[in-house]
Amino acid sequence: SAVNKAILVPAALLISAFLPWLITPLLMLGGLFLCFEGAEKLLHKFLAGSADDDAKHRAELVRAVQDEQVDLVAFEKDKIKGAVRTDFILSAEIIVISLGAVATAGMAQRVGVLVAISVLMTVGVYGLVAGIVKLDDLGLYLNRQAAAWQQALGRGILAFAPWLMKALSVLGTAAMFLVGGGILVHGVPAVGHAIEAWAAGLGAWGGLLSSLAGGLVGLACGAVVAGVVSMVARLRK
């Protein structure tokens, strides 16, 4: 993620200086990619055969963990590449949105703001991720202590961690549609204004329903792109 931002911050500054008209199309492409990623996750979840694939991968992963000769980083290289790719898109969205907030400031201030946000997002987000990933280790450590309350707390963490991971997976997929769809909606002013006008008449629920409408737009666009990508892949085969 730090390497991604080290590439993106100078690129964003150069684009803002020489090709400012390119920012919105790039945001739109990033939003569309997020929607595609979310749609692909849903398709994999609900298509026939995906459960068998997941079970097979889980069995392979268990065998790999038990075999000390297996390099787990190499074993999970495809998943890691996918995570790095998604982080690149999300980082680009964050940097471009931040750049838009300080577009009228001087170059030194723009550089300072983008660097500060990049560092805070990387350390904050992945610090939190590291903590979540290590929850099961914390639970196992506590479960091995002498005090009964520590053992009980450890068992509770071990029972809670899988449910937390599943919930984060669902929320992460929903966030892809909400963020990506929101970017697409605001990138087409006529659609964005129409949704805002509709939501304005709904009172206190207007903001929430406006976001949900953006998410539905993201879901529809992601499904279309996923269908096109699947069709192209079949034709290539």
pLDDT digits (tens, 9 = 90+) for 185-233: 988 888 888 888 888 777 777 888 888 999 999 999 999 999 999 899 8
Q: Rounded distance, CA 168 to CA 11, Å?
A: 31
Q: Rounded distance, CA 161 to CA 137, Å?
A: 10
Confidence of residue 51 (pLDDT cuts 50, 70, 90): low
Confidence of residue 49 (pLDDT cuts 50, 70, 90): low
Q: What is the structure's pLDDT at 71?
A: 83
Cβ atoms within 10 Å of 80's Cβ, excluding its own: 12
pTM of the model: 0.78
CB 95 within 8 A of CB 5: yes
Q: Rounded distance, CA 141 to CA 33, Å?
A: 40
Q: Rounded distance, CA 139 to CA 136, Å?
A: 5
Residues 139-164 pLDDT 10s: 999 999 989 999 999 999 999 999 99
Cβ atoms within 10 Å of 36's Cβ, excluding its own: 21
Q: What is the structure's pLDDT at 36?
A: 93
Q: Rounded distance, CA 26 to CA 99, Å?
A: 13
Q: Rounded distance, CA 68 to CA 51, Å?
A: 27
For residues 68-93, give the mean pLDDT: 83
What's the mean per-residue pLDDT of the chain? Answer: 87
DSSP 19: -
For residues 4-23, give the mean pLDDT: 87
Does position 103 have pLDDT exceeding 80, yes or no? no
